[in-house]
Amino acid sequence: MNDEDFDDLARAVDARIQQLGEGIDPARLFGIRLRENGFVLVPFWSGVAREIPFGIAPPDDCVAIALDTGGWAAPMNDDGTVDCRPSQHPERKRIRHTALVYGAGVDVSVLTYEDEEPQVLRDGVGVVVELMRACWSRRRFETPDGAI
Query: Is residue 109 assigned to a domain?
Result: yes
Query: Is residue 80 assigned to a domain?
Result: no
Query: Is residue 86 assigned to a domain?
Result: no
The pTM (predicted TM-score) of the whole model is 0.88
- pLDDT value of residue 129: 96
Structural domain range at position 29: 3-73+91-137
Query: Is residue 142 assigned to a domain?
Result: no
Position with higher pLDDT, 78 vs 146: 78
Distances in whole angstroms, Cα of residue 130 to Cα of each of 20, 39, 59, 88, 145: 26, 25, 19, 28, 32
Measured distance CA(69)–CA(95) in Å, rounded: 9
**DSSP notation for 75-143:** PPPTTS--SS-GGG-TT-EEEEEEEEEETTTEEEEEEEETTS--EEEE---SHHHHHHHHHHHTPPPPP
pLDDT in tens, 56-86: 999 999 999 999 999 999 999 999 999 999 9
21's torsion region: left (phi>0), alpha (psi -120 to 50) or beta? left
Q: Tell me, what amino acid is at 45? A: W
Please state the rounded mean pLDDT for residues 17-41: 92
> Could you tell me the pLDDT band of residue 140, with boundaries at 50, 70 and 90?
confident
Query: Is residue 67 assigned to a domain?
Result: yes
Measured distance CA(17)–CA(23) in Å, rounded: 10
- pLDDT value of residue 4: 86
Residue 18 has pLDDT above 70, yes or no: yes
What is the DSSP-derived secondary structure letter of residue 43?
E
Average pLDDT of the chain is 91
Please state the rounded mean pLDDT for residues 98-121: 94
Query: Is residue 31 assigned to a domain?
Result: yes
Measured distance CA(148)–CA(139) in Å, rounded: 10
> Could you tell me the pLDDT band of residue 147, with boundaries at 50, 70 and 90?
very low
Query: Is residue 83 assigned to a domain?
Result: no
- pLDDT value of residue 61: 93
Report the sign of the C-alpha dihedral through residues 61, 29, 9, 137, in that order. negative
Please state the domain count of the chain: 1
- pLDDT value of residue 142: 59
Please state the rounded mean pLDDT for residues 94-117: 94
Query: Is residue 104 assigned to a domain?
Result: yes
Nearest to 58 by CA among 82, 30, 91: 30
